[in-house]
Structure 1
Amino acid sequence: MLKPARLFLPLLAALLAPTAFADTHASGTDPRIDALLTQLGKVRDVNEVAISPDGQQLAWVVETDGKPGIMLADAHGQHAHSVGLAAKPGTCSEEGLAWAPDSRHLAFLSNCAGAASTMGSKQLDIYVLDTQAQDKATRVSNLHGYVHGLSWAPDGKSLAFLYVEGATRRASALAAAKPATGEIGVEGIEVQRVATLPAQGGELQVVTPADSYIYEFSWAPDSQRLAYVAAPAPGDNNWWIAQLYVQAAQAGAARTAVVDPRTVSGPLHGLQIALPRWSPDGSQIAFIGGLMSDEGATGGDIYSVSTTGGAPVNLTPGIHVSPAWFSWSSPQSLLVNQFSNGHSQLAEYAVQAGHAQQQRVLFTAPGSVGSGTAELSLSLSADHHYVAFAQSSFEVAPEVYAGAVGNQIPSAVTSINAGLKPGWGKAQSVEWDNDGFHVQGWLLYPANYDPSKRYPMIVNIHGGPSSAVVPRWPSVGYGAAPFSALGYFVFMTNPRGSFGEGESFVQANRKDFGYGDLRDTLAGVDAVEKMVPVDDHRLGLTGWSYGGFMSMFVPTQTQRFRAVVAGAGIANWQSYYGQNLIDQWMIPFFGASVYDDPAVYAKSSAINFIKKVKTPTLIVVGDRDAECPAPQSFEYWHALRALGVPTSLVVYPNEGHHFNDPQHQRDVLQRALNWFEKYLPPGQ
């Protein structure tokens, strides 16, 4: 999508990117790094998991040679076999699982028979498989664009999905932005809408208005209406001002604006909404509302509102966890998956008289869980007695887990990555108090840890800031765990601004970026140094996105860190406001636009304190990053170079905020490992 931007800045990044990428490549390669990257590349990701409504069948999407494919098994993972159109796993892409209410038909997306699309890869189309027949899946669509989010109507007669007709890119601010050409903000805007299709195939109907970008939707129990979260296009930018609507599932139908966070009073005012879910009787819609810094990174309180509109009610005020996903299990109860103190936790809530009270915690997972549809999502049987999801941790690579919903976590039913063992050290949760807050983080010990030795430590600050570090198996892409494999302690903090301690904790760094969260992080470093033999003179700092900002800002406030790797960072909030393609996210966090209150942006801008920086800094970014544009990295690098601070800037061509090219994913991690080995050698 094209959005307002300064044309010369992305162009400058694109012109300089090949030179930076070629000229700054670190000389020499530690053989341990190559071995580590090879090990990380062996993992097969489990991208989706879906249990049938009757709880008897289980489907999942697993990658083979970088291509997703579908497996089907019984509910215990037995008799697993590949389904779909692929003659051989890894030859084409099949994903997007959706079970029909009859538990017999499975819808999915496949490009195995697709023609070339405007997105540069083969077109995905919708197929329906009869799991009790031997026939191949039936193609029911003929699409020309980006499709995802398949969902069956409760009556099983039709499918709905999110669709960008004629799309040229994946619909996400994390994806590489379009080249900034033409009339910015006017030409080439792509709009994601809800479309429906008869389950047996037939005429596609685009249901929602052409001027509204739809982010999420859900069917009403009567199969006649939809609830959805939407905003005017462009979609990358306007998720932060999205409203909740209800509309009949027909093209041209009038819609009702149910919740507009910009105009409501109370705690939801000016915040974000996500995950609309109809109550079983169709009278209410529950959703999550809170301060969220990215679409898809969901956390907050649970609200409820009448389907005809009115004042939304906060069902969970004052809780000290962050619900991220939920499902109605009855008209008076919810199953809620929530961030809690650095963990993902499934709990049961009773709903009564405008209040949801946690009744019991069903299980706390040892790692990250998800079904692939949303943050912390689970796949549940229709009666909510059975659950399935993918899970990984620092100790265990991704597998499918499934079983009864009860007081313990289900067991793994696959052994996809059973041969993989961690090359890094053990993980430990660390908790401390600071400035009246309870704070948590994760500490990874060095591989082959010897308590008689002193070790360097790398501190990693997560993106967001509204997010949380929860244990997960690392990928080849940039992350913190690989540093542990090379002899470092790695400390991953969840300071104020993070999910997991309640909404007041999330909002505690509004208008205060880089100050309170830094104090929390430094207090955590002090706590770790009292526990284990960390050499305080060999501390490193790294992060991506908001963590990249912190990696640029922190060296202007303290000289405690001796080496930094800043990924997709922000050096100057004032210039960033006019450069990025997602400026709507900033007002909830800063309280006003940069034009109305420049001082609040200036106080958190590293560039305004740049002469205090002495720390050697490696800077990496994608040249088409819409969230944290490359000019921010250029500005920081230029200043350090002018001041004689050791620095290197690497710009990766055709990459957005999230890197997709495997070569780039590998290169950025290798450069970071080399940088820390140079300035924080572990073998001292």
Structure 2
Amino acid sequence: MLKTSRLVLPLLAALLAPAAFADTHGATDPRIQALLTQLGKVREISDVALSPDGHQLAWVVETQGKPGIVLADADGKHARSVGLATKPGVCGESGIAWSPDSRHLAFLSNCASTHAGMGGSKQPELYVLDTQSQERPSHLADLNGYAHALSWSPDGKTLAFLYVEGATRRASAVAAAKPAVGEIGVEGIEVQRVATVSSQGGSLQQVTPANSYVYEFTWSPDSARVAYVAAPAPGDNNWWIAQLYVQSAKADAPRVAVVDPNTVHGSLHGLQIALPRWSPDGSRIAFIGGLMSDQGSTGGDIYSVSTQGGAPVDLTPGIHVTPSWFTWTTPQSLLVDQIDNGHAQLADYAVQADRAQQQRVLFTAPGYIGSGGAILALSFSADYKQIAFAQSSFELAPEVYAGPVGNAMPAAVTNINADLKPSWGKAESIEWDNEGFHMQGWLLYPANYDPSKRYPMIVNVHGGPSAAVLPHWPAVGYGAAPFSALGYFVLMTNPRGSFGEGEAFVQANRKDFGYGDLRDTLAGVDAVEKKLPVDDHRLGLTGWSYGGFMSMFAPTQTQRFRAVVAGAGIANWQSYYGQNLIDKWMIPFFGASVYDDPAVYAKSSAINFIKKVKTPTLIVVGERDAECPSPQSFEYWHALRTLGVPTSLVVYPNEGHHFYNPVNQRDVLQRALNWFEKYLPPGK
């Protein structure tokens, strides 16, 4: 029966979706269309790179739907488009990386390509721009697949990158899964490897083993070796059991397993590792280890291990912040970008053999910061005296920031989105305590807030659960800020399980999904209601991924929420275990497989308490979601429909866990806005 159901559901989704998109359930509030138009005006900044000498700055910005490269002085002056694009919006260029001599900028471009790539678009190729010459960029290598994470060797002789030869999709679990046809788990497996090419051009060499899927890598200081995090294919599933390896940067070279979290003793056992970084003297490798629910959403303690292997050392045990990105500055110091109580901050750490101690916080950012690639990544000059990144917040749309590293955040050096102003209300950080834990969240006031009126409130639960809400400017797609523009309070919580309060806080909802974190969230609702005119009879709940699970589960535990939108949710952890393509993530959180401990999965499954649900629920999901498969949404929708609870299910064709089609990005947000207006009218 399960095999039959799995084959029928994608067809059913395809049949349902076109009809569903034909009608958005009644007249649309004109404010929604205006809001969608405003959100569509933001130009996203995806990469920022400061040259090693600190004199030049490059960034990738979207123009007419396509990414393009801009080169400027370090202060943002004399900005000009570079690359092969003859006019904006016709092709895409990205993936920028500076050479150590600060003269050459490597990038990916499909502007001159004649080969088909993923999804029928042109195949990107590898180029190098001499920034001190008037010549066009030089073609470095033809590619036949998906490439990203360009990185020059420290000696400047070689360019390395992550590469999936013959790729049919992005190398990410959030991308749309391949159709489930053929011999499952055997046919069509795509493997991401470290590839290299000489800086003078030539043939591409795939360095790491053909049966090992590489997630991240880094060069050794002497340019002779690479360290990388890898696991057997398939890559979407096995990041949670990945190991740290070191090998020569040559094809077919033997490798050494430096850290295996599955067998080590101590605090790292059974957890995940990310961001390996060689110390400047080449003697050891630092990395982040912790309970992480998604590759790319990094947080935990900072560990160190000898490059020869041995027992890793937790350098930051017991800290009450969450390091998410870091870089060595000397063999005895680190710069760490960390999450603290819902804020991103850059801190300086002194490193000893067995301890890294925070010395000072250099600055706390008002919003989300990053330079592309890993979460909260930053770009520095080689002497670490200059810094650059992109930032956005609830108040400010994305811009590039750059300047000296000191005791204050640098200023914006661009005005790419300067004309955009928020149509939502003001943002406020709120804090509360519950059951011995300290919590933080972000509250958006309704647009045009009048303290003499009472307002509905929508609670938004973030995905993960190992993640955190940080202030950011919303783009078209599913998010929380647009609800504020229509007259709602919006509460975005960071309950137990979130980054920002230390690793013990992250691990506090292990084997307890939907219980302690729900109580934390409800305590946050109570804290808001004590100080602001929120109508407790007009509370809504929404979220995506883990937030989608909470949107399905919470109405089985409480009747406080009067309307729900569940995005890419999970209704039944027991059936989910056998349906999703990333089941390896579950054992660190549940303690065992569903076959060894079905009870721990059953206790957090909404479907087992479904008769308690009375809340009108809109359910949305991508047809080819590998992380939270559409059968989970079908199961929840089917139950509510059978029980007579108002519900609607919309399945978006060819979308994965993350929606890429702009039409679908707009539609899913518009439907959610309409749903809450119907069941939680803000003007009441």
Q: Same fold (TM over 0.5)?
A: yes
Write the mapping of 1:77-156 to structure 2, written as runs, cut at 5 A. 77-119=76-118, 120-156=120-156
Match of 1:51 in 2: 50
Match of 1:620 in 2: 620
Shift of residue 27, structure 1, vs aligned partner: 1.9
Match of 2:36 in 1: 37
Match of 2:19 in 1: 22
Match of 1:669 in 2: 669
Supply the distance in 2 between the matched residues of 1:422 and 1:6 (Cα, whole angstroms).
Answer: 48
Supply the distance in 2 between the matched residues of 1:299 and 1:215 (Cα, whole angstroms).
Answer: 16
| Letter in structure 2 aligned against 1:225 | R
Match of 1:195 in 2: 195
Match of 1:318 in 2: 318
Deviations 1:6-32 (A, max 9, x none): 474254133333324523632211100
Supply the distance in 2 between the matched residues of 1:280 and 1:20 (Cα, whole angstroms).
Answer: 54
Match of 2:247 in 1: 247
Deviations 1:500-524 (A, max 9, x none): 0000000000000000000000000
SS at 1:412's partner residue?
A: coil
| Letter in structure 1 aligned against 2:649 | L
Supply the distance in 2 between the matched residues of 1:550 and 1:310 (Cα, whole angstroms).
Answer: 40
Supply the distance in 2 between the matched residues of 1:10 and 1:304 (Cα, whole angstroms).
Answer: 46
| Letter in structure 2 aligned against 1:643 | L
Match of 1:307 in 2: 307
| Letter in structure 2 aligned against 1:581 | L
Q: Are 1:401 and 1:412, in contact at CA under 8 Å, matched by a contact in 2?
A: yes
| Letter in structure 2 aligned against 1:518 | L
Supply the distance in 1 between the matched residues of 2:217 and 2:330 (Cα, whole angstroms).
Answer: 20
Supply the distance in 2 between the matched residues of 1:609 and 1:114 (Cα, whole angstroms).
Answer: 54
Q: Are 2:214 and 2:229, in contact at CA under 8 Å, matched by a contact in 1?
A: yes
Shift of residue 66, structure 1, vs aligned partner: 1.3
Match of 2:572 in 1: 572
TM-score for the superposition, normalised by structure 2: 0.99
Write the mapping of 1:529-568 to structure 2, written as runs, cut at 5 A. 529-568=529-568
Deviations 1:311-341 (A, max 9, x none): 0000000000000000001110000000100
Shift of residue 293, structure 1, vs aligned partner: 0.1
1:495 equivalent in alignment to 2:482: no
SS at 1:35's partner residue?
A: helix
Supply the distance in 2 between the matched residues of 1:11 and 1:658 (Cα, whole angstroms).
Answer: 23
Supply the distance in 2 between the matched residues of 1:31 and 1:116 (Cα, whole angstroms).
Answer: 43
Write the mapping of 1:424-443 to structure 2, written as runs, cut at 5 A. 424-443=424-443
1:161 equivalent in alignment to 2:158: no
Q: Are 2:13 and 2:653, in contact at CA under 8 Å, matched by a contact in 1?
A: no
| Letter in structure 1 aligned against 2:16 | T
SS at 1:671's partner residue?
A: helix
| Letter in structure 2 aligned against 1:475 | A
Supply the distance in 2 between the matched residues of 1:18 and 1:549 (Cα, whole angstroms).
Answer: 25
Match of 2:6 in 1: 9
Supply the distance in 1 between the matched residues of 2:426 and 2:472 (Cα, whole angstroms).
Answer: 13
Supply the distance in 1 between the matched residues of 2:12 and 2:68 (Cα, whole angstroms).
Answer: 38
Q: Are 1:21 and 1:650, in contact at CA under 8 Å, matched by a contact in 2?
A: no
Supply the distance in 2 between the matched residues of 1:233 and 1:103 (Cα, whole angstroms).
Answer: 36
| Letter in structure 1 aligned against 2:568 | A
SS at 1:411's partner residue?
A: coil
Structure 2 runs not aligned, ≥5 long: none
Match of 1:279 in 2: 279
Write the mapping of 1:410-429 to structure 2, written as runs, cut at 5 A. 410-429=410-429
| Letter in structure 1 aligned against 2:91 | C
Q: Are 1:7 and 1:180, in contact at CA under 8 Å, matched by a contact in 2?
A: no
SS at 2:149's partner residue?
A: strand
Deviations 1:535-588 (A, max 9, x none): 000000000000000000000000000000000000000000000000000000
Distance 1:7 1:68, change over 3 A: farther
Q: Are 1:73 and 1:80, in contact at CA under 8 Å, matched by a contact in 2?
A: yes
SS at 2:471's partner residue?
A: coil
Structure 1 runs not aligned, ≥5 long: none
Structure with greater contact order relative to length (CA < 8 Å, sep ≥ 6): 1
Q: Are 2:346 and 2:362, in contact at CA under 8 Å, matched by a contact in 1?
A: yes
| Letter in structure 2 aligned against 1:622 | G
| Letter in structure 2 aligned against 1:443 | L
Deviations 1:86-106 (A, max 9, x none): 001221000001000000100
Supply the distance in 2 between the matched residues of 1:236 and 1:543 (Cα, whole angstroms).
Answer: 22
SS at 1:562's partner residue?
A: strand
Q: Are 2:17 and 2:653, in contact at CA under 8 Å, matched by a contact in 1?
A: no
Deviations 1:605-628 (A, max 9, x none): 000000000000000000000000
Supply the distance in 1 between the matched residues of 2:647 and 2:41 (Cα, whole angstroms).
Answer: 32
Write the mapping of 1:349-388 to structure 2, written as runs, cut at 5 A. 349-388=349-388
| Letter in structure 2 aligned against 1:13 | P
Shift of residue 60, structure 1, vs aligned partner: 0.1
Deviations 1:117-147 (A, max 9, x none): 3412111111000000000100100110000
Match of 1:630 in 2: 630
Supply the distance in 1 between the matched residues of 2:262 and 2:560 (Cα, whole angstroms).
Answer: 41
1:63 equivalent in alignment to 2:53: no
Write the mapping of 1:146-295 to structure 2, written as runs, cut at 5 A. 146-295=146-295
Supply the distance in 2 between the matched residues of 1:14 and 1:106 (Cα, whole angstroms).
Answer: 46
Q: How many residues align?
A: 680
Give me the CA root mean square deviation: 0.9
Shift of residue 383, structure 1, vs aligned partner: 0.5
1:506 equivalent in alignment to 2:503: no
TM-score for the superposition, normalised by structure 1: 0.99
Q: Are 2:556 and 2:609, in contact at CA under 8 Å, matched by a contact in 1?
A: yes
Supply the distance in 2 between the matched residues of 1:165 and 1:605 (Cα, whole angstroms).
Answer: 39
Match of 1:327 in 2: 327
Supply the distance in 2 between the matched residues of 1:91 and 1:395 (Cα, whole angstroms).
Answer: 31
- Give the % identical residues: 80
Shift of residue 343, structure 1, vs aligned partner: 0.4
Supply the distance in 1 between the matched residues of 2:45 and 2:189 (Cα, whole angstroms).
Answer: 32
* Runs of 4+ off more than 6 Å: none
| Letter in structure 2 aligned against 1:111 | N
Q: Are 2:216 and 2:275, in contact at CA under 8 Å, matched by a contact in 1?
A: yes
| Letter in structure 2 aligned against 1:367 | G
SS at 1:227's partner residue?
A: strand
| Letter in structure 1 aligned against 2:551 | S
